[in-house]
Amino acid sequence: MSWWDETDGGTDEDEPYGQYDESSVRVRPNPKGNRPRTKTRPSYDDAPTGWVTNVDRGRFGVLVTSEDGEHVVTATKARELGRKSVVTGDHVSLAGDVSGDEGSLARIVRVAERTSLLRRSADDSDEVERVIVANADQMLIVVAAADPEPRTRLIDRYLVAAFDAGLDPILCITKTDLADPTSFLAHFACLDLRIVTSRADDVPFEALHELLDGKVTVTVGHSGVGKSTLVNALTGSTRAIGVVNSVTGRGRHTSSSSIALRVRDGGWIIDTPGVRSFGLGHVQPENVFRAFASHAVTVQDSPDGIPLDQAHDWEIVDRVQNGELGTTGVERLDSFRALLTGMGAEDPGTA
């Protein structure tokens, strides 16, 4: 006989389970939290804003300006941003602890629309782009007159990337005490470039400050050209300075990420790691032309009846063929043709 039998005259009240009802049942809590899930997300319209000054292994330094002055906040990327990248130069909105106190951590919840975007790819055939810097105004291309030897084709790539990003290029020649840069500069004679020269014992502070004042300038350059030395002199920074290998002639990388530094007399410099190559797989071939001739036909200027992808000014080709640009013009045209054909475009020499 069981421990309870309805034949023994027992009632429902006598049943062990009869003394409980549904209200007595304990409901297990939601393992993901007790708040109901919703697709409604906060707008962050009143969120404090800041400017990303550096990126380091998933942590972002963000400069925040308030009534009490400026301070740097350490932040991480919020989940709602998904795969959207955050890079040095981005204007962002923040949530969480924005005090900037030691150990505090905020979240970047929104990235503002970018006015410019400097990118590069692994090589010319790789369409996967790597974003380097956002919202810069101009590009300072640093190249040494010697040690290491200047590479005109690398400078050509920087120029293409600058024009593609909407940045105004400036060419800075360092180490002119080691070699005369005249023949090198002749390569860019057909461009209206702003050029500054520098010696080891004579940094042209006045000329550079005039160009950098009130601007956000991204610096690029081959490893070992003296870029970090120049940036340290202009900003008071103490970033590591590399040396050139006497055997290979190559410079050593001294920085691994981009960082924004305030120029002493105004403006900002975003110093980027030195590179030995600069892929342009993300650039449309028609955007290459501005870096090679003083004039180029834009989409708005395209003559009626001519397809946009063919509406280019072949001025440099004509000037080379007419002998106007001499040997340097031939070299420049060769660089031009190599870039375009490497990107799968038509060779201008056969157009």
What pLDDT digit, counting tens, does each position of 201-252 carry? 888 999 999 999 999 999 999 888 989 889 999 999 886 554 444 333 444 4
More confidently predicted of 13 and 110: 110
| pLDDT averaged over every residue in the chain | 78
C-alpha Rg value of the chain to the nearest Å: 30
- Sign of the CA dihedral with 220 first, then 226, 231, and 234 last: negative
Structure tokens at 34: 């007790």
Q: State the residue for tokens 């962002």.
A: 92
What does the DSSP assignment read for 32-70?
A: T-SSPP-S-----TT--EEEEEEEETTEEEEEEEETTEE
Q: Quick check: 73 pLDDT over 80?
A: yes
- Sign of the CA dihedral with 342 first, then 149, 163, and 63 last: positive
What's the confidence (pLDDT) of residue 311? Answer: 37
More confidently predicted of 334 and 15: 334
Provide, rounded to the nearest whole percent, the portion of the chain with pLDDT above 90. 38
CB atoms within 10 A of CB 175: 22
Q: Quick check: 334 pLDDT over 60?
A: yes
**283-314 tens-digit pLDDT:** 877 677 667 765 444 444 444 444 444 434 45
- Measure the N-to-C terminal CA separation of the chain; round to a whole number of Å: 104
What's the confidence (pLDDT) of residue 100? Answer: 93
Calpha distance 90→143 (Å, rounded): 27
Structure tokens at 43: 């707008």
126-158 burial string, b = 16+ CB within 10 Å, else e?
A: eeebebbbbbbbbbbbbbbbbbbebebebbbbb
**178-207 tens-digit pLDDT:** 999 998 898 887 677 899 999 888 889 999
Measured in whole angstroms, the distance separating CA 169 from the mean position of its chain's CA atoms is 15
